[in-house]
Amino acid sequence: MAMRSLAAISSSIVSLRAVHLPTKLRPFAGQVRSSVQLVRTRENVSAEILAVRNIRWTGGIKILRPFQTLSTSGNPFDGTTTRQPIRCLSVGSLEPTKSPESGTFLTTKGAALAAKQIVGLVGFYSDHYVVPLPEGHRFPMDKYRATRILLEEDAAMRDILATYPAPFASREELSLAHDESYLESLSTGNLDAKQQRALGFPWSPELWRRSQASCGGTVAAMHAVMLGVARAAANIAGGTHHAFAGHGEGFCVYNDIAVAALVALNDYPASCNLQSPILVIDLDVHQGNGTAKIFENDDRVITFSMHGEKNYPWRTKMKSNYDVDLPDDTGDEEYLTILNEQLAMLFDRHKPFLIFFQAGVDALKEDSFGRLSLTRQGLLRRNNIIYSACQTRNLPLVITMGGGYSRPNDASIEAHADVYRSAALRYGAARS
């Protein structure tokens, strides 16, 4: 009956053995690491797996739902063992996935191929990189992790959402959209004061690494949809649309959508071309100025931005192929009517092949920067309009996160999670 009382004697990180893992993960035994604590019960001393969020995982699969498994409880003093059920919530990695053969980080395409084929949504995250920011800095760095945790702990996401650590975008990929001199300044920490002011972040090695992963997540999501791993794939970050070829702005280091679109044009030329352009649907409340500028003279990528007319960027607004400026306090009905009309025109006129959705939620009325008045329900309807438009035309879709700055940030986090949750549900429901 073992009433547990339980003093922890020691704890350590160990590799989980096959017996601890569900069948499908057993080939990866040894790659899953977990914290194990030795506890003293009334009757014996046993090793118990506590883990849950401390699990490190270096394989290519992620468990999304809570699972039961058996822990072998050994008594190191008398050699007896018992087995008891334990519950693990999720298995996540703290680093991008490495190739088991070479030990090097996976490429963006490699990461997409390592994801399991899923009916629903594949998502990449990069919140395992934490960027040190000065106290009181207004960028909500913690929202990325909070959004991912919300999704992973949502039982409704079981089997329809698979998340993976984002790979790094390579220098070669980044240079498709960015100037060499800017990439060099970022990798060596030589951004000058003016550049850092425009960016809004102080430079740090962590910022550079995280930005590479954040951009890599969108490139990997693009590969995932182009390679048929899933019909929709997401970056639970990215949508950093204020980054220009030669400098960053407004909390955006690399322009992930621009990089991923240019990689798509390079790697899948038979699919993406002038007859079938890529369409960027940017619904962040701020204009996608960096993306607009990068594709200003490139008809292979059509940029559409619908944003608050009085919002940032004030001095650096650029010309997208299509810009819709919305007045302050625009509400759900007006917003959704315009969106429906614009989408019908865009799909009809351009017959795009691949869609990038910048799904910023800063049009929410609770947003501290947004100036518009959409409700959470209105944003949900907005998301579903995009998903329906892509699903009815059978178009591959890449979703990125974009802005969201409510204070406190719960409202933004819920709305961000809605973007991914509703995509997983929509695309998961396509299962027959």
Q: Does 366 bind Zn ion (CB under 5 A)?
A: no
Shortest Cβ distance from residue 252 to Zn ion (Å)?
A: 9
> Applying CB under 5 A, which of residues 286, 293, 350, 426 lies at the interface with Zn ion?
286
Given a contact cutoff of 8 angstroms between Cβ atoms, the answer to whether 312 and 250 are in contact is yes
User: Interior CA angle at 400 toward 415 and 220, to 5°?
Assistant: 140
Q: Return the residue of 127, 249, 284, 414 that touches Zn ion, per CB under 5 A.
A: 284
Nearer to Zn ion, 217 or 403 (CB): 403
Q: Which residues pair with 33 in a beta bridge?
A: 15, 56
Q: Is 290 in the site for Zn ion (CB under 5 A)?
A: no
Residue 308 contacts Zn ion per CB under 5 A: no
Three-state SS annotation for 316-339 = CCCCCCEEEEECCCCCHHHHHHHH
- Binding letters toward Zn ion, positions 386-405, x by CB under 5 A: -----------------x--
CB atoms within 10 A of CB 284: 26
Please state the closest distance from residue 224 (CB atom) to Zn ion, in A: 25
Q: Which is nearer to Zn ion, 120 or 370 (CB)?
A: 370
Residues near 28 by beta carbon (within 8 Å), at least 6 away in sequence: 21, 59, 60, 61
**Cα–Cα distance measured from residue 324 to residue 385, given in angstroms and rounded to the nearest whole number:** 17
Under the binding rule (CB under 5 A), the answer on residue 96 touching Zn ion is: no
CA–CA separation, 200 and 252 (whole Å): 8
Give the residue from 113, 122, 212, 211 showing the smallest Cα distance to 170. 212
The DSSP 8-state label assigned to residue 46 in this structure reads E
367 near Zn ion (CB under 5 A): no
In the complex, least distance from residue 403 CB atom to Zn ion, rounded to whole angstroms: 3
Q: Closer CB to Zn ion, residue 120 or residue 360?
A: 360
Among the residue ranges 15-23, 188-196, 353-361, 411-419, the one whose residues contact Zn ion (CB under 5 A): 353-361
Q: Which stretch binds Zn ion (CB under 5 A): 73-81, 106-114, 285-293, 407-415?
A: 285-293
Structural tokens at position 73: 């409880």
Binding flag, residue 362, Zn ion (CB under 5 A): yes
Stretch that binds Zn ion, among 253-261, 262-270, 281-289, 293-301 (CB under 5 A): 281-289
Instruction: State the residues that interact with Zn ion by CB under 5 A.
Output: 284, 286, 360, 362, 403
